[in-house]
Amino acid sequence: MRKAACAPTPQLLDPARSRSRRRLSLLLAVAMGGVVAQAAAEPTALAPLAPQVFTNPLLQPPAQDPQITYQDGHYYYCESSEEGIFMRKSRDFGSLGQAPRQRVWAPANNGPVSHHIWAPELHILDGKAYIYFAADDGDNDNHRMGVLVAETDDLAGSYRLAGVLDTGTWAIDGTVLTLDDGRRYFIWSGWPGKKNGQQNLYISAMKSPVELSGSPVLIKEPDQEWERRAMPICEGPQVLRRDGRTFIVYSASGSWTADYCLGMLVLDGANPLDATTWKPAGQVFARNEFAYGVGHCGFVSSPDGREDWLVYHAKNKRRDGWSDREVRAQPFTWDERGWPVFGEPVDPLLPLVHPVRTEGLFAAVTKPKSPDSSEQRAD
């Protein structure tokens, strides 16, 4: 995950709670951003366009385990199904859900990573694109982390299987931590033994993008009440870095429940393989009246690097299940310590301003013709 940039407080339009006023604000914002005057005039200057807005969800149910990468003017969204791994590509953040879904890898009919393909993540390491994903041979007890490598320079092009990481036992939701000095680590969720019933977070050094080195180190067990609802689970680790600080934001409790939520670890030391350097910061994002089961997040910065966005899935129903999960996004800020402040899930009817771009934000400002112009307006 690339280092997040310093961000001013992003703008949320119309914070009032009235749903009718929010709907009206959205319609007005779209109208203001989309209408271009065509009266006879002469362009004289450039002025900012009206803000473009979107509302959640980014992707309709069923959609889960979001991960978005911004690269070379495009947003890339990685997702999976039993048919393989797919990529969406869009210049417009709020339109990712409408972008065509292109399959970049298809699993073999049989093999160690041929079934139950979960939570793919795109990472660009040493100038090369890799996708890490969880899969098994048809038996959940054999879930492991597979690695794909791009066959072309196109991030949305074809990928091939480069290997299966040796995590020693059951593993899902793997992600990569790269420090400023180049040291690289792999973090995942795994069972403490060979039976389902609890998931912990583990870390291991990486010898290369496709190979681990050394033994796994346990860095987090689900020992808090909010991590143990329905089942003791810590999963979905995501790395967030800013100004030399390193955080792991992870998901806790049963993903099928309304109580699924986010917790955070803070690296307080120079050695990520020393479990004592990972300090728990508690629960940082949880359900409210607008969303249930919020978890398995990702992070992406705006194109100009001034805003940071939280992307997560949420249930839109209180009852247990996975089929009602949808992908949402909202901006977040930072406190005086340099720690992320995620707030709480926003109302999906609340219009959000698109992440700021540095290009394409200006339109010609025109001045009217003088009254004595010989040209007449056509009615």
Indicate the SS3 state at residue 317. coil
Query: How far apart, in whole angstroms, are the C-alpha atoms of residue 259 and residue 293?
Result: 5
Please enumerate in sequence order all residues whose Cβ is within 8 A of that of 286, keeping only pairs 6 or more positions apart, or say none.
Answer: 226, 259, 261, 262, 294, 344
Per the residue annotation, which of 79, 121, 173, 235 is the catalytic one? 235
Query: How far apart, in whole angstroms, are the C-alpha atoms of residue 314 and residue 375?
Result: 57
Is 235 one of the annotated active-site residues of the chain? Answer: yes
Query: How far apart, in whole angstroms, are the C-alpha atoms of residue 248 and residue 278?
Result: 9
Please enumerate in sequence order all residues whose Cβ is within 8 A of that of 225, keeping only pairs 6 or more positions apart, or say none.
Answer: none
Query: How far apart, in whole angstroms, are the C-alpha atoms of residue 319 and residue 321?
Result: 7
Is 375 one of the annotated active-site residues of the chain? Answer: no
For residue 321, the tally of other CB atoms under 10 A from its CB is 14
Strand pairing report for 352-353 and 340-341: unpaired
Per the residue annotation, which of 14, 65, 79, 136 is the catalytic one? 65
Which H or E run contains 22?
A: helix 19-34
Please enumerate in sequence order all residues whose Cβ is within 8 A of that of 152, keeping only pairs 6 or more positions apart, or say none.
Answer: 158
Catalytic machinery residues:
65, 235
